[in-house]
Amino acid sequence: MSPANNTTTYAAARALAPTPRYGFGTLAIHAGSKPDPATGAVIPPLSLSTTFKQRAVGDFVYEYSRSDNPNRANLEAAIAALEHAAHGFAFSSGSATTATILNTLAPGSHVISVNDVYGGTHRYLNKVASSVGVETTFVDLASIDNLRDAVRDNTRIVWIETPTNPTLRLVDIAAAAEAAHEAGLFVVVDNTFLSPYFQTPLDLGADIVVHSATKYINGHSDVVMGVAATNDDALASKIRFLQNAIGAVPSPFDCYQAQRGIKTLHLRMRQHAENAQRVAEFLEASPLVDSVIYPGLPSHPQHALARRQMRGFGGMVSFRIKGDTHTADRFLQRTHLFTLAESLGGVESLAELPARMTHAGLAPEERAELGITDNLIRLSVGIEDADDLIDDIEQALVSAVAENKLPL
């Protein structure tokens, strides 16, 4: 990009980040979204061109759309602003984000990852990174001593996800970052489950924050995308280089859609959390439920850490229905508002059975160790009316549990 063109949408947008001069909602609406200087369009137009006219050789704002384009630059500026970062990046999926960041590692490097990391991240580390000589140790990061014990001479990165999926365990980001930095390691935090509205890992000491933007950031279940952000200039230039060299980039249209989603992220997250809290409290009081996992419940084993580290408890609730996998299956077929489907973070409520859907790839012993029982149901609580969601859950619970076989 030519530094002479600092009146463009792009440069103006970048200039807004990372100073958190404005509140979250103001940044969500204005960061990376200045009126188009050429036409005055209040919403920056969708720019589908793959290539851009140069005024003289090398004198351009944008060169080629894989390297950079107006819609992606705008979205990246918004992500950077919301994550309190100097640099934001967008990729074609959350998985492509993971792959690109892990490609910064040289063969022979070692990664420490939280043990109940997202399934696709586990698969990438175990099956893809390992084939290019990057080895991973999966550890329970509930204790930071486990992190210290796993460090080797060639360890480079600690990969954290908090809260985890689907059992919503937390990792103390500040404590993990302190231990990792003592050992000279970078810390990556997958912030997908909370969004920057409820948690900003860079403020807690993480070096890179990543998201599956497919979930809350886009928020409307119609874009697959990933994003990353960092304040480390050297890391940022490596990631920028690899973003272009690997080329796992999102389309301008998807960037445009995700940015439209971001403009209501604060409103959506507040409602997700309010509804999830009500759903979790309803479930906890129900005799048809064995246990409920939600960081906003005082019964959550890390509720105190949740209060310290997060600004809200998010929209994901997991619970064990009284009964077995058949009871759970009946429940999932009988809800009218919660749709039986994978994924999460959209405006609509979804429900799924991790043991046979998202976490079917784990060995039964691994599922047992993580508490992913056959009756564990994961809810992505949407932003419908909470009363309607609770009524829907109640009727499905009553009908599903009523058909449990009576004890002999």
Ligand X SMILES: *Cc1c(COP(=O)(O)O)cnc(C)c1O
- Active-site residues, by number, are 66, 118, 190, 215
State in angstroms the smallest separation of the CB of 214 from ligand X.
4
State in angstroms the smallest separation of the CB of 79 from ligand X.
14
Q: Cβ-closest residue to ligand X?
A: 94
Residue type, 315: G
Q: In 206-298, at which residue ranges do the beta strands (DSSP E only) sit?
A: 208-212, 226-230, 289-293
State in angstroms the smallest separation of the CB of 121 from ligand X.
6
Q: Do residues 44 and 72 lie in contact, with contact meaning Cβ atoms separated by under 8 Å?
A: no
Distances, alpha carbon 159 to alpha carbons 103, 136, 148, 208, 246, in Å: 14, 10, 14, 10, 21
Q: Do residues 179 and 187 lie in contact, with contact meaning Cβ atoms separated by under 8 Å?
A: no
3-state secondary structure 56-79: ECCECCCCECCCCCHHHHHHHHHH
Q: Do residues 28 and 88 lie in contact, with contact meaning Cβ atoms separated by under 8 Å?
A: no
Cis-peptide into 166, omega within 30 deg: yes
State in angstroms the smallest separation of the CB of 281 from ligand X.
24
CB nearer to ligand X: pick between 296 and 354: 354
Helices 9-16 and 70-82, axial angle in degrees (round to 10): 10
CB nearer to ligand X: pick between 129 and 151: 129
State in angstroms the smallest separation of the CB of 326 from ligand X.
27
CB nearer to ligand X: pick between 34 and 359: 359
CB nearer to ligand X: pick between 47 and 192: 192
Q: Could you tell me the end-to-end alpha-carbon distance of the chain, in angstroms, rounded to an integer?
A: 75
CB nearer to ligand X: pick between 13 and 351: 351
CB nearer to ligand X: pick between 87 and 359: 359
What are the structure tokens assigned to 118, written together? 């997202």
State in angstroms the smallest separation of the CB of 172 from ligand X.
18
Q: Residue 209, Cβ neighbours under 10 Å: how many?
A: 31
Residues found near ligand X in the complex (CB under 6 A):
93-95, 118, 120-121, 161, 165, 190, 192, 212, 214-215, 224, 226
Q: What is the DSSP string of 329-380?
A: HHHHHH-SSSEE-S---SSS-EEE-GGGTTTTTS-HHHHHHHT--TTEEEEE
